[in-house]
Every structure is written in C-alpha cells, then in structure tokens.
Amino acid sequence: MTVPTPEIEKRDLAREYRRLLRGAEHSKSPEDRKRIRKAWELAVEAHKDMRRRSGEAYIFHPVAVARICSEEMGLDTTSIVCSLLHDTVEDTWVTLDDIERIFGKRERVIIDGLTKISGIFDAAQSAQAENFRKMLLSLSNDIRVILIKIADRLHNMRTLDSMKREKQLKIAGETDFMYAPLAHRLGLYAIKSELEDLSLRYRQPEQYAEIEQKLRKTKAVRTRFINSFAAPIKEALDKEGLKFSIKGRPKSIASIWNKMQKQRVSFEDIYDIFAIRIILDTPPEQEKSDAWRTYSVVTDFYPPNPDRLRDWISIPKANGYESLHTTVMSPTGKWVEVQIRSERMDELAEKGYAAHWRYKGQRADNRLDQWIGQIREVIEGGEDSALEFVDELKLDLFNEEVYVFTPNGDLIVLGKGATALDFAFRVHTQVGQKCIGAKVNKKLVPIGHVLQSGDQVEILTSRKQKPKEDWVNMVATASARSKIRAALREDRQKLAAEGKSALRKQFKTLGIDFIQANIEALTHRVRLDSPAEMFVRLADGRLVLDEFPHHEVRGGRLHFIRKAAEPAPDKESETPVAQSPKKGEALVLGVDKQSLDYTMAACCRPIPGDDVFGFVTVSGGIKIHRSACPNATQLLSKYGYRVLKARWAGQKERSESRATATILFSGVDDIGLVNHISGIISADMSVDMRKVSFETNAGSFEGRIEVVVNDTEHLGELLDRLRDVPGVSTVDRLED
C-alpha cells in the first residue's frame, strides 16, 4: 500500500474539486457553488484521518461519487452535496442534526436514507439486504437516495482491485443481484451495463478477459462493416433533410457472456454483437414521425425481420426507455439490429429517470410514481425477511414487460409472466382479493391464466372469495404477492386469536394457569415452532387437544412426564454448524489430512484449478462452489457472512483424488465421428469416460460426455484436442 506525500495528495485533491465544479453543469449559480464548497469543506474535515484500502485518502471516494452523480447522471446541487457527505454520518463525528442545521431537512432525509443500518443483524439475514430495504424506504421521499447509492456502488466497483478476493466476490455478487437490476429499472442503461461488466470481471475474470480481447481484435472489422452498412442510409437521410448521427455500439461484455451461456454458442456465433444507432436531431413534436421516416429509409436498403420490430416510442418501457428497434439483413448475410431515436430519447436511454431533471427540472413522469407506489406496497406488506423482500422486489426490477388493457381501454404494464390475478391486484387490492376468474379477449379464463401483450382483461369477482395459500405461486409481480401474503397474515392472526381463546378455556377447565411457561411447554410437546402456529392449528382443526397425555398439574403449572426416551424434533438448526478456518486463513482443498468437512457442490461440480469459494450450509458442512457457479451470485449477495476463502492444494501436497466434468459437443454428423472423439478421450489422453450420450438430427449432432480429469489444466488440454476434430464446431465444459 503506497501513500502519496501530503503535497501530492493536496494537489490531486484540489484538481478533483475543480473537475467536480466543471462537471456540475446544473450548479453554476453563486448559491449552488457556495453550498458545494460548504459540503466539500465539511467532508474533507470529517474524513481527514481516513484512508481507503488502496492507501489513498478516503475523501477521494465521496468526490468521485459526486462526479458520477453530476457528470454521468446529470443530477442537481442537492445530489452533489449529499454525495460528498454520504458517508459522514455513518463513519465520522458528523450527525444528522448537523446536516439539517447546516444544509436543510431535504439533505437530512437523503443522507439518512444513504446511511447503513447500524447494530447487530440476525444471523440468518443479510445485512446488505437490510440496507437495501432501508434505502428503498426512502425512495418515496426522494429518488435521489437511490441514484446516489447506485453511484456509490459504481465507484466501489471501479476501485475493487484493492480488496481481498473473497470480498471482491461478495461485493460483485451483491452488485449483480441487487444494484444492476435497480439501475436497469431506473433506466440507467450505461451504468447498469458497467455494473454488470465489472461484476463479471471479478466473478469470472478469465471469461471476461477472453471476450474483452475478442472485442478489441474485431473492432477494426466492425468499424469497416458499420461504415459500409451506414453509407447508403446516410445518403438517403441527407436527401430527406434529416439531421442525424450514426454510430455502432457493441453489446456489453456481460450481455455477450449471458447470451453465450443461454444459447450455448461461441462468441463468433452471436450475430448481434453490436447495434447500429441512428440518433435524430429533431424537435419533440416530430420525434415519432421522423423515427418512422428513418425506419422506412433503412428498410428500403435492407429487408427487416418482421418478428424483430419493437416500437417503444408509441408505448415506452416502464423505465422510460423510448426507441424504435428493428433487425435487418445485411448484404453479407448477417442480421444487424438498428436502433432509431432522438437525441432526447438517447440521453434518457443512457441516464434514465435521472435525465428527466435535465429536461423538466422535476421528478420523472407518473410511471415512475406508479412504480414507487408499488415498492411502497411491497415494503408495507410487512415481509418478515429482508432477503424475502429483496427476492420479491427483484421480480419487478429485471423483468420484461407485457402491455394489457382494461375493458375501458386503459393501458396497464405488468411484468412478463403476469397472470389475471396480477392484473386484478394491480387494478385494486379488493378486486384482487375477491377475484374468482377473468375474461381475456371476451373468453373465460382461470385466475392463473398468463397474460400476453395486447390482451383485454375483465376481472370477475365474488363477495365470498378470499385469498388462498396457493395464490402466492400464481402471481409474478412483487406487489401482488405482497398483498396476498398480507391478507393471509391477517386471516392467520384472526385464527390465532380464536385458537388462543379456545385454549384459554380448556386450560381453565383443567385448572392450568394460562401463562407463557405452560403455553410454551405445550407447544414443545406437540412439536410446533411457535405458540402462534399452535393457536392457528387449534382454530382450523388440524390440532385437537381433548386431553393432554402423560401430564400433571402442580400449583397451576403444566408438567409432562416422559415415559421413555423420545427422539428430538426433526428440525434443522437455524445457524450454520460447520467448523470454519481461522479468520484470514483459506480452506485448502485436495489434501488427505483435512480437518474440516467439505464436499463439492453438485450444482457446479468444481475440479482442481477452478476459482472457488467455500459456503457454510445450514446442516451439510461446507460446500465448495465455483465462482462461475449459477448460484454464486445469490449466495455471495445474500449470505456473504457464510462465505469462506478456499484454494486448491499445490501439485505436491494434493491427494490422488480426481474429479468429474461434463463436456458438451456439437457439430456436423459424420461416419466414425463418435469413435474418433472417444478415441482421443480414452486412448490419446488416457481419460476415463463415465457417461456418453449423442443425438443426431438432420445431419448435425449434439453430445454429452462425463469424464474424469486431474484438474482444469488437464481438462483444458482435452478440450483443445477435441476442438481440432474435423466436423466438431463447439466443445465446452458444462457450466451447471
């Protein structure tokens, strides 16, 4: 860790402050500059003795966050002030009262929302999930809380190199799980893409570097293609008298990686590595007509794919995104995505709702207000678990959308997969609770019917209907699920009150005092988790207590007599039981004399050489997962406190145990191809095969082989040999 001299640090700090002022385009007045200066001086004083893990003065972090808010989001003076002070209340002597006295109530509200929850968290909870919930509680008061928090996370991700590996994995997992979807939902496309890319860079560094290198190598080819493709379009648009610019933009690395995994194709097989964007300089009243004029020009030269037309100008996405997308066939036989939008739409697409301040000087349109209202409903639904809350909310963050209509023709936007029951709860809570069915396009359907864009929906209700347990699995939106659970809890509370009253009467008849000790003794006897559960079962008839076996009453106290040894209740411990290495030490894998109990996770089946981490399970010891495991993001973001460092033993100390891996093939079917592949595996490479399966279809084949290898180097050599086989087009290790 290198610490710069005070003179250099002072000079760098002054330079950063000047950059902050230059980038604050909406804070040019003397009053704005005075407020920023006051916040700057307070932040510098409060953080003067603090340093980041990289060694630099801590004050550089809040300054960087403030610059992201002003330059990359276009936020106002209040946002810059709160960015500079966002860590002062949590980490320094500055209090919320100080903030309110010096700056005002609005700044206090925002910084309070940004301040992490202090105190001790339940062992089964994620502190980060609690922080996330608290942050969203402030959303309805001021959306700048969320925007500043996203900027804070973005800078942390940009400077993650100085952190330890296990910390990098935890923060990257949280980012991918919570912050990238939130940025997406707020329309912060550029920031969302960067958060996903940075998360992938730390979770799967080799794959990230490989795609980055291929994008760099193919940049010149893409540039020539874009210039050739755009040339006739430019000439025609000039004749139309339109002002415009054309640029090509590659997909984010994370987006390319996700598509490779989802479609199981190589980098070279993805046709939409980049999109061509046509940005029109046109007044708002002509945006729509000029976009369609441009579409007509593009399709005059290149035939469009009719299934790939997306009109988000007529009906913008819920996050405010507006654009006209089409996919056309180029002269070289490649599909090319073309995006057509105005300059205003382009800025909104990059900076989302944050950019509305640039155009309106106020909060974004009513669709944002509607979404904030839905979040408030989820929060007020009273979910007991912060993790459950995050899971529910995440349903609405990263979901595609369907557009449906009421009988009167009003448009309602729901997440993809939403059902008639989701629609009913979106109309009104009471309509949802009384829903018995629906008419979709005049045809009767059940409440679990999945809606499609363009459907017209009429809800049927009955006064006798009430929410049921299985409704929770019939809905796809967080707000509907939250409302259903709230109604179920209310019914449960009524049942519990009835059961408690009935037990009180029974205790009185038997001469038993109705006190907590007696209630808990009975709860333990009937092997239930809580007295509330016992009360509910007594009320709904699932538990009948005509008499208490093997009991006696002494002085009003209830005592049960054990006739013989009874087995303990079959219930898992609520806290992890596996022994962990000492703090700072890594779990060493592949050594015979290993004192800690661990097993390889079945979901990703690590082999020696894989980048891995340990996870302490509730009752199954320690599970070893690959950092590329499909479950890694969720485990690292939700349960970071249960993650252990793990590394493979060196070759000398490693035991002779070997590991299994599954290889996927595809290619052109040919006589003797299977024998050729199996010969390389078993004869040339001396690798054992456990399972083999091949399927052929219309001249192509797909195969799957489970092999036993020493480590990732051994597996890599095998994959390289198989890729050289004539007729084989793809060879990959199965990721999950």
Please pick, among 90, 300, 592, 688, the residue that the annotation labels catalytic: 90
Q: Which residues contact 123 (CB under 8 A, 6 or more apart)?
A: 574, 575, 641
Determine how many CB atoms are found less than 10 A away from the CB of residue 358.
Answer: 17
Question: Would you call 623 helix, strand, or coil by DSSP?
Answer: strand
Vertex 547 angle, CA 546 and 553, to 5°: 145
Tokens representing 320? Answer: 């405010």
Vertex 273 angle, CA 314 and 712, to 5°: 135
Residue with tokens 């979770």: 203
383 class by beta-carbon count within 10 Å (0-12 exposed, 13-18 middle, 19+ buried): buried
574 class by beta-carbon count within 10 Å (0-12 exposed, 13-18 middle, 19+ buried): exposed
Report the DSSP beta bridge partners of residue 461: 435
The DSSP output letter for 159 is T
**Is 91 noted as a catalytic residue in this protein?**
yes
Determine how many CB atoms are found less than 10 A away from the CB of residue 658.
Answer: 15
- Mapping DSSP onto H, E and C, the string for 725-736 reads CCCEEEEEECCC
CA-based end-to-end distance of the chain: 38
CB contact at 8 A, 356 and 362: yes
Residues 407, 43: Cα–Cα separation, whole Å = 56
C-alpha distances out from residue 542 to 522, 534, 539, Å: 15, 9, 8
532 class by beta-carbon count within 10 Å (0-12 exposed, 13-18 middle, 19+ buried): middle
Tokens representing 299? Answer: 């399709």
407 class by beta-carbon count within 10 Å (0-12 exposed, 13-18 middle, 19+ buried): exposed
Residues 391, 638: Cα–Cα separation, whole Å = 10
Nearest to 413 by CA among 316, 310, 307, 311: 316
Tokens representing 697? Answer: 């279809």
Please pick, among 9, 12, 71, 91, the residue that the annotation labels catalytic: 91
**Is 90 noted as a catalytic residue in this protein?**
yes
Nearest to 600 by CA among 623, 626, 621: 623
Tokens representing 323? Answer: 């654009």
Residues 412, 268: Cα–Cα separation, whole Å = 39
Residues 598, 581: Cα–Cα separation, whole Å = 12
Residues 161, 433: Cα–Cα separation, whole Å = 50
Catalytic amino acids? 90-91
